């Protein structure tokens, strides 16, 4: 039996970074990954990087007046180039970890006990390894809804498999109105697909500030993206050349046909095959691995990082989880409670970025607030980029002048939101941002007008 000081399960952002760090310290370390196509983790291979590559090229495609056949050809070229790019990134990640001295083990891991893991290789061989410390970083997986006709349907995709689709669908239906679904709706609409989103919720992006959500919905409507609310998908029938989606809305049964159907009904922690019960590891009520503020499970030599814990599923949270565990191992004070405000971006067109509270949340918590708003059409840089769409909104505490929340539905908001997050973490008076000197013409200078009294 091979023995290690540290074993990491999963080649995601936290796992690969921690493995290299521990190995460079001189500690014998192994990293287990069940698929050679996932070196580097979900973000690099099937999520953030390939999807944003697609998003960028979709925006470029939207600016050119082509017929569907020409856009389909361009789409196919983008997908082929994406695959080459991702393959190169995957190899780079593998070599970087390998060169740091980590033993990379291909196989599916499961717990025998709190120190022993069983590793099953692709050919069915079983090996057991011992570890003083174990770190779980197995990410999340797509929720497959209980809809008749979903299984083995050649026209049904998840966000992972959709990224491999080489032909542009003319009619594209998305089941689920969450962030992943809306991103794909935006990408494929820009490429030229006719897109319909079917969601069970009666409100569009119900977790967002209501005014911002309405602006996003209006933009989607203007682009021709159809949103069907309060609808329950009953079945997806596979036909010879397409699929028929049957759904119920307002008590009526409706049908729509599509060349491709995306299941975007959420993601859950990927722990089913780990057999964590053999190690005595506890789960949360939502199915994630239960951890404390230092990301330690209830078993003292086992930690969990990233999406497998549940909660916000972002690669930068996974990276920060590495920092927390590194700090813990070194006797530091970093925890999940002192990482500051967490921003996020939904990469639709234009992108929607947020940090902190919505106007509704601030009011419900009893804050005395003032609200600043600016339409994107008033920002010179937005016109230069031919993206004068959307609006920006910031909520400020009148009593302290601190920013409580920012909602930026505008071009390049994915960059601008980080500046606002920093100001919030430092408890900076909003007037510092309002009166700062920014280069011109830029999107960051929009803060001068947005926060003007």
What is the tens place of the pLDDT at every residue in 302-352? 999 999 999 888 999 999 999 999 999 999 999 999 999 999 999 999 999
Residue 375 has φ and ψ, to the nearest 5°, of -80, 140
Last residue of a domain, one of 210, 238, 265: 265
Regarding whether 115 and 13 lie in a shared domain, the answer is yes
Q: What share of the chain is helix, strand, coil (3-state, %, to 5)?
A: 35, 25, 40
The helix/strand/coil state of 390 is coil
Q: Is residue 63 over pLDDT 90?
A: no
Question: Does 77 share its domain with 96?
Answer: yes
Same domain, 318 and 252: no
Which residue, of 302, 329, 356, is where some domain finishes? 329
- The arithmetic mean of pLDDT across residues 349-363, rounded, is 98
* Predicted pLDDT at 221: 98
Residues in a beta bridge with 174? 197, 262
Does the residue 31 lie in any domain? yes
At residue 42, φ and ψ (nearest 5 deg) are: -60, -45
Q: Which residues pair with 241 in a beta bridge?
A: none
162 Cβ contact partners less than 8 Å away, ≥ 6 residues apart: 184, 260, 262
In a shared domain, residues 78 and 203: no
d(CA 438, CA 440): 6
Residues 430 and 451: their CA atoms lie apart, in Å, by 8
Per-residue pLDDT reduced to its tens digit, 84-106:
999 999 999 999 999 999 999 99
Tell me the pLDDT band of 440, cut-offs 50, 70 and 90.
Answer: very high
| Same domain membership, residue 348 and residue 302 | no
Kindly state whether residues 180 and 128 are assigned to the same domain. Answer: no
Read off the CATH number of the domain in which 73 is found: 3.50.50.60
Residue 397: CATH number of its domain: 3.30.390.30
Tell me: do 88 and 115 sit in the same domain. Answer: yes
Mean pLDDT of 64-85: 92
Residue 69, helix vs strand vs coil: helix
Structure tokens at 256: 């729509």
Total domains, the chain: 3
pLDDT tens per residue, range 8-61: 999 999 999 999 999 999 999 999 999 999 999 999 999 899 999 999 999 999
250 pLDDT more than 90:
yes
324 plus 426 within the same structural domain? no
Same domain, 80 and 167: no
Instruction: Spell 246-276 as b/e; 16+ CB within 10 A means b.
Output: bbeeeeeeeebebbbbbbbbebbbbbeebeb
Task: Read off the pLDDT of each residue in 213-231 and give the average, rounded to a whole number.
Answer: 98
Give the mean pLDDT of the chain. 96
φ, ψ at 394 (rounded to 5°): -130, 135
Q: Among 238, 265, 292, which residue terminates a domain?
A: 265
Q: Let me know if residue 67 belongs to a domain.
A: yes
440 is catalytic: yes
| pLDDT of res. 453 | 87
Whether the per-residue pLDDT at 66 is higher than 90: the answer is no
Q: Is 135 in the same domain as 8?
A: yes
Report yes or no on 336 lying in a domain.
no
- Residue 151 placed within a domain: no
* Residue 147 belongs to some domain of the structure: no
Domain residue limits at 205 = 156-265
Catalytically annotated residue among 206, 294, 407, 440: 440
pLDDT of residue 62: 87
Asked whether residue 334 is domain-assigned, the answer is no
- Reported as a single tens digit per residue, the pLDDT across 113-130 is 999 999 999 999 999 999
Are residue 252 and residue 296 in the same domain, yes or no?
no
The answer as to whether 211 is a domain residue is: yes
Looking at the structure, tell me whether residues 198 and 130 fall in a common domain. no
């Amino acid at each position: 039996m091979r023995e290690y000081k540290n074993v990491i399960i999963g080649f995601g952002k936290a796992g690969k970074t921690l493995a290299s760090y521990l190995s460079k310290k001189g500690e014998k370390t192994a990293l287990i990954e069940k698929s050679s196509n996932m070196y580097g983790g979900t973000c690099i291979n099937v999520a953030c990087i390939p999807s944003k590559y697609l998003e960028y090229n979709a925006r470029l495609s939207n600016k050119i007046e082509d017929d569907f056949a020409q856009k389909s050809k361009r789409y196919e070229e983008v997908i082929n180039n994406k695959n080459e790019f991702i393959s190169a990134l995957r190899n780079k990640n593998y070599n970087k970890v390998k060169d740091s001295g980590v033993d990379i083990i291909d196989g599916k891991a499961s717990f025998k006990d709190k120190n022993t893991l069983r590793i099953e290789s692709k050919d069915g061989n079983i090996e057991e390894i011992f570890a003083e410390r174990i770190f779980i970083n197995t990410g999340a997986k797509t929720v497959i809804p209980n809809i008749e006709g979903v299984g083995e349907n050649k026209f049904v995709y998840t966000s992972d498999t959709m990224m491999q689709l080489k032909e542009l669908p003319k009619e594209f239906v998305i089941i689920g109105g969450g962030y992943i679904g809306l991103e794909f709706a935006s990408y494929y609409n820009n490429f030229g697909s006719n897109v319909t989103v079917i969601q069970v919720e009666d409100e569009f992006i119900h977790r967002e500030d209501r005014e911002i959500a309405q602006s996003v919905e209006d933009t989607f409507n203007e682009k021709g993206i159809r949103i069907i609310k309060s609808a329950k998908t009953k079945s997806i029938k596979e036909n010879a050349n397409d699929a028929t989606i049957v759904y119920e809305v307002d008590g009526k049964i409706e049908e729509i046909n599509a060349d491709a159907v995306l299941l975007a009904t959420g993601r859950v922690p990927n722990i089913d095959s780990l057999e964590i019960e053999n190690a005595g590891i506890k789960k949360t009520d939502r199915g994630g691995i239960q951890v404390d503020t230092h990301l330690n499970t209830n078993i003292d030599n086992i930690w969990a990082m990233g999406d497998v814990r549940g909660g916000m599923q972002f690669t930068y949270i996974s990276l920060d989880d590495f920092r927390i565990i590194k700090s813990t191992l070194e006797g530091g004070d970093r925890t999940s409670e002192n990482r500051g405000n967490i921003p996020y971006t939904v990469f639709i067109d234009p992108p929607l970025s947020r940090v902190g509270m919505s106007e509704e949340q601030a009011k419900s918590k009893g804050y005395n607030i003032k609200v600043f708003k600016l339409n994107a059409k008033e920002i010179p840089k937005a016109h230069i980029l031919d993206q004068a769409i959307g609006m920006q909104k910031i909520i400020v505490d009148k009593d302290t002048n601190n920013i409580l929340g920012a909602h930026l539905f505008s071009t390049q908001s994915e960059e601008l939101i980080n500046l606002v997050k920093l100001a919030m973490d430092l408890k900076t008076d909003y007037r510092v941002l309002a009166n700062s000197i920014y280069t011109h013409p830029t999107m960051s200078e929009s803060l001068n007008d947005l926060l003007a009294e």
